[in-house]
């Protein structure tokens, strides 16, 4: 899906939001930062407060955006630790936001256990 990342629309996977919403598992932001020569520190932040209004489409969008904003804050705090291997910002952007994959994932993950 397309979500804001540093003020630009960027392709972003909704998988973490979908998985957390489906399982009810907390999302703990965890980051490894350098702390001197050959030393690192693990930062474990407070669990994110995910949106759960019952509107799966809007909740997935909102929670994915929350995750992106959390990553942004860490990159702003430690910009010299950030390295992104692939092209995060695509040249082509959709005219209309496509939620086909989210709809499919929502159907698979959120359908009732009785098959409906």
Q: Which residues of the chain have pLDDT under 70?
A: 85-116
pLDDT at 9: 87
Estimate the share of the chain in helix, then strand, then coil, as percent rounded to the nearest 5: 40, 15, 45
Tell which residue, 51, 72, 70, has the closest CA to residue 62.
51
pTM for the structure as a whole: 0.74
- Contact between 92 and 27 under an 8 Å Cβ cutoff? The reply is no
Q: What is the pLDDT of residues 91-111, one digit of tens each?
A: 565 544 445 555 555 555 555
Q: What is the pLDDT of residues 66-78, one digit of tens each?
A: 999 999 999 999 9
Tell which residue, 6, 2, 18, has the closest CA to residue 71.
6
């Amino acid at each position: 899906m397309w979500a804001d990342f540093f003020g630009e629309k960027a392709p972003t996977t909704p998988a973490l939001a979908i998985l957390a919403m489906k399982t009810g598992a907390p999302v703990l932001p965890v980051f490894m930062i350098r702390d001197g020569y050959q030393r690192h520190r693990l930062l474990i932040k407070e669990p994110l407060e995910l949106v759960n209004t019952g509107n799966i489409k809007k909740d997935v969008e909102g929670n994915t955006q929350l995750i992106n904003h959390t990553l942004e804050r860490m990159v702003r705090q430690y910009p010299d630790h950030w390295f992104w291997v692939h092209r995060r910002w695509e040249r082509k952007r959709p005219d209309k936001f496509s939620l086909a994959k989210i709809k499919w994932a929502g159907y698979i993950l959120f359908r009732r256990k009785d098959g409906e």
